[in-house]
Amino acid sequence: MKKLLITGGLGNLGSWLTDYFAQQANYEVYVLTSRQRSIITEANFQLITCDISDAEQVEASLAPHRFDEVIHTASVNDYFKPNFARDALLVNSLGTRNLLEHFANYSEAKPHFVYFSTFQVYGRRSGLITEDLPPEPKNDYGTTHLFAEYYVKQFHSNHQLPYTIFRLTNSYGCPKDYDSSKWYLVLNDLAQMAATEEKIVLKSNGKATRDFIWMGDVCRIVEKIMNLPTAPNDTFNICGEQTFSMLDVAEEVQTAYQNEYGKQLPIMTNEQDTAKHPDDLQVIAKKLKSVVSYSLTHRFQEEATAIFHMLKNKP
């Protein structure tokens, strides 16, 4: 069995990865988290509580273990909270370096370090986005993840730590936790609104477009990368390669609601929002597909329905 560490493994994407890999027979899963409790009750994994921005905590928490694979998703991304810039730098950048320094000290068989960065390092909302574009982040989230990418490459160059960097677009899927802090994400927000308020209201005119990828697909792609004979030691876009407007997502929730409850909810947009949005966004994963083969799944309606059921059955 491979010993796998998932940092941030109780977070939005991390909980999907934890649930997925805990069900695979060839992985012994450990979750590193700053939370004090486990939210995934059925999955088989061991919990390690640690603040990755504290190097001494990282060393003390991880010293008893030796890992074959590391999936690093722990990050601060709630940009609207006080002190976000400071916390993002401490966790996203310095926290990543603290982990890298620990694993670089392995005398032999260093673990494959899979790092989840963000396509926000490109600083673009339109046009064709490939890995050849020079990074020009426009916010602290993108900047601090770019810093972390440089650290990953630095430790590969200086300590031969094998790595894969994923620049993730917008991943979606029903939260694993009722108390998730990510209900503001577009699909979660609209599905929750439909289920609890029987309405679908967009804060914007609905014309803004984004690339979306289902988190189940992300899990399968990560597993394929980790099953390669050697780590790619490279950076890849991980995306759905298909853009949707906010209105498109709202219509998916509308259809899911009608199928579930037999009632069509109207979609209301913000008529005061006159902003124009480019509709030529295209994020591609040609480079990733040259390394592993995979197919993608369109599951907006299924995940919206899962959110309806989750809220209905909430204790």
Where do the structural domains in the chain lie, given as residue ranges?
2-171+212-238, 176-211+242-281+297-312
> What pLDDT score was predicted for residue 79?
80
CATH for 176-211+242-281+297-312 is 3.90.25.10
Helices and strands (H and E) in the chain: how many: 10, 14
Q: Which CATH class is domain 2-171+212-238?
A: alpha beta
Note the pLDDT of residue 39. Answer: 62
The per-residue pLDDT for 41 is: 58
Residue 185 confidence (pLDDT) above 80 = yes
Residue type, 245: S
Instruction: Supply the pLDDT for residue 3.
Output: 97
Residue type, 34: S
Answer yes or no: is pLDDT of 181 > 80. no
Express each pLDDT in 31-52 by its tens digit.
999 876 656 655 689 999 999 9
Out of 30-39, 85-94, 214-223, least confident range: 30-39
- The whole-chain average pLDDT of the chain stands at 94
Residue 38, φ and ψ in degrees, nearest 5? -95, 135
Sheet with 243-245: strands ordered across: 170-172, 209-214, 243-245
- Point out which residues pair with 208 in neighbouring strands: none
pLDDT in tens, 58-80: 999 999 999 999 999 999 988 88
- What percentage of the chain carries pLDDT values higher than 90? 87
- Among 206, 214, 210, 187, CA closest to 282: 210
Distance CA 100, CA 105 (A): 9
